[in-house]
C-alpha cells in the first residue's frame, strides 16, 4: 500500500514536470502547427539562468522567498527573450514553407543552444541549490510527499489555471484561439498574427523557465544536455493528449508520468519507458487524434 501511494506521488510529480514543459509544445503547435524542438533547450536555459541569478543575488544577501521569486522572475524574463528571439531567427523566415523545414531548423537550433551553453558555461554537471524555502504545511505531508514535489505539483496547477484564464478571458487569449482555429480568417478579422505567435513563444518559454527552476531545485543538479530527454518526453505527452490542446497536454503528461512510475514500480525500471511508449501506441491506435484532440474531418 505504501509502495502504491509513493508511486502515485512519484507519477503525479513526474507528470506535473512533463506538463510544465508540454504546455510550451502544445501552445506553439496549436498556433502554427510546428513541433518546437528547441523548447527543451529553453527549459535548460531557464534552469541555468535561474541558477546564475540565484548565485549573483545570493551574493548580494537575498534569500528565502525573495530570492526564489526574483530568480524565477528573471529566469522567466530571459527565457521569454530567448523564446522570442528563437522564433524570429529560426521560424519566422520559414512561415508558409513545407512543415518539415521549420522542424529541421528547430533541430539545428536545439543543437546550437546545447553547445552554446556548454561552451559559454561548462560541460560539467553543476550543483543546484535548494531554493525552495520550507513550506508551512509540509509537515502534514512529510510522510507522503517532499517539499519539492509539493512545490512542483502546486506550480503546475497554478500555471494551468493561469493559462486557462488567460486563454479564456483576455483579448490575446481570444486572438490565440482565433489563430489556432483559422489563421487566414483571424488575419482578415484584424488579428496581428505576428504578435500572437510571438506571445505564444513567450508564454511557453515562461512555463519552461518555471519548470527549469523547480526541477533544478528538486534534482539539485543541471547540465547543458538535460533539456533533451525532458523535452522528448514532454513532446510525447503533448501528442498523447492531443497536440494543440492545453488540457490535453496536462492529461497526456499525467498519463505518461503515472505509467512510467507504475511500470517502474510493478514491472521493472528497465522497461519503464517501454511500457510508456507501448501505452502511447495503443492509445493513439484507438484514438488517432490524441485523447483530447478533436477528430478533424477532411472535406474534399
Q: Which CB atom, from 65 or from 271, has the smaller least distance to other proteins?
A: 271
Minimum CB distance to other proteins, residue 292 (Å) = 13
CB of 215 to other proteins, least distance (A): 6
Contacts of 71 (CB under 8 A, 6+ apart): 50, 53, 54, 57, 131, 213
Three cell numbers at 256? 505518461
Q: Which is nearer to other proteins, 199 or 261 (CB)?
A: 261
Give me the least distance between CB of 116 and other proteins, in Å please: 6
Spatial distance between the Cα atoms of 23 and 209, rounded to a whole number of angstroms: 12
**244 SS3 class:** coil
Closest to other proteins by CB, 167 vs 243, is 243
Q: Residue 177 CB, nearest distance to other proteins (Å)?
A: 20
C-alpha span between 235 and 27 (Å, rounded): 11
What are the backbone angles phi and psi of residue 222, rounded to the nearest 5°?
-140, 160
Choose between 136 and 286: whose C-beta lies nearer to other proteins: 286
H or E element at residue 178: helix 171-181
**Please, what is the minimum distance in Å from the beta carbon of residue 169 to other proteins?**
29
Q: Under DSSP, is residue 136 helix (H, G, I), strand (E, B) or coil?
A: coil
Partners of residue 222 on adjacent β-strands: 126
Burial 69-85 (b: 16+ CB within 10 A, else e): ebbbebbbbbbbebbbe
Amino acid at each position: 500500500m505504501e509502495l502504491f501511494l509513493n508511486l502515485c506521488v512519484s507519477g503525479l510529480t513526474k507528470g506535473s514536470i512533463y506538463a510544465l514543459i508540454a504546455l510550451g509544445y502544445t501552445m506553439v503547435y496549436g498556433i502554427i502547427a510546428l513541433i518546437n524542438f528547441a523548447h527543451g533547450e529553453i527549459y535548460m536555459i531557464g534552469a541555468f539562468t535561474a541558477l546564475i541569478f540565484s548565485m549573483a543575488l545570493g551574493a548580494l544577501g537575498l534569500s528565502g522567498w525573495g530570492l526564489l521569486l526574483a530568480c524565477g522572475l528573471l529566469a522567466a524574463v530571459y527565457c521569454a527573450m530567448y523564446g522570442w528571439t528563437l522564433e524570429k531567427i529560426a521560424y519566422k523566415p520559414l512561415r508558409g514553407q513545407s512543415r518539415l523545414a521549420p522542424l529541421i531548423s528547430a533541430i539545428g537550433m536545439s543543437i546550437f543552444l546545447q553547445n552554446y551553453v556548454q561552451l559559454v558555461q561548462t560541460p560539467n554537471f553543476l550543483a543546484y541549490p535548494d531554493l525552495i524555502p520550507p513550506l508551512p504545511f509540509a509537515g502534514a505531508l512529510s510522510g507522503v510527499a517532499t517539499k519539492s514535489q509539493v512545490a512542483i505539483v502546486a506550480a503546475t496547477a497554478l500555471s494551468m489555471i493561469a493559462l486557462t484564464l488567460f486563454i479564456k478571458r483576455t483579448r490575446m487569449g481570444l486572438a490565440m484561439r482565433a489563430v489556432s482555429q483559422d489563421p487566414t480568417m483571424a488575419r482578415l478579422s484584424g488579428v496581428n498574427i505576428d504578435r500572437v505567435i510571438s506571445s505564444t513563444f513567450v508564454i511557453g518559454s515562461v512555463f519552461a523557465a518555471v519548470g527549469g527552476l523547480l526541477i533544478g531545485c528538486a534534482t539539485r543538479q543541471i547540465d547543458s544536455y538535460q533539456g533533451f530527454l525532458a523535452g522528448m518526453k514532454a513532446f510525447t505527452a503533448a501528442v498523447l493528449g492531443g497536440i494543440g490542446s492545453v488540457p490535453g497536454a496536462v492529461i497526456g503528461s499525467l498519463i505518461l508520468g503515472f505509467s512510467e512510475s507504475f511500470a517502474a514500480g510493478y514491472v521493472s525500471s528497465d522497461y519503464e519507458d517501454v511500457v510508456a511508449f507501448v501505452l502511447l501506441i495503443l492509445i493513439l491506435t484507438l484514438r488517432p487524434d490524441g485523447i483530447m484532440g478533436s477528430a478533424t474531418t477532411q472535406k474534399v
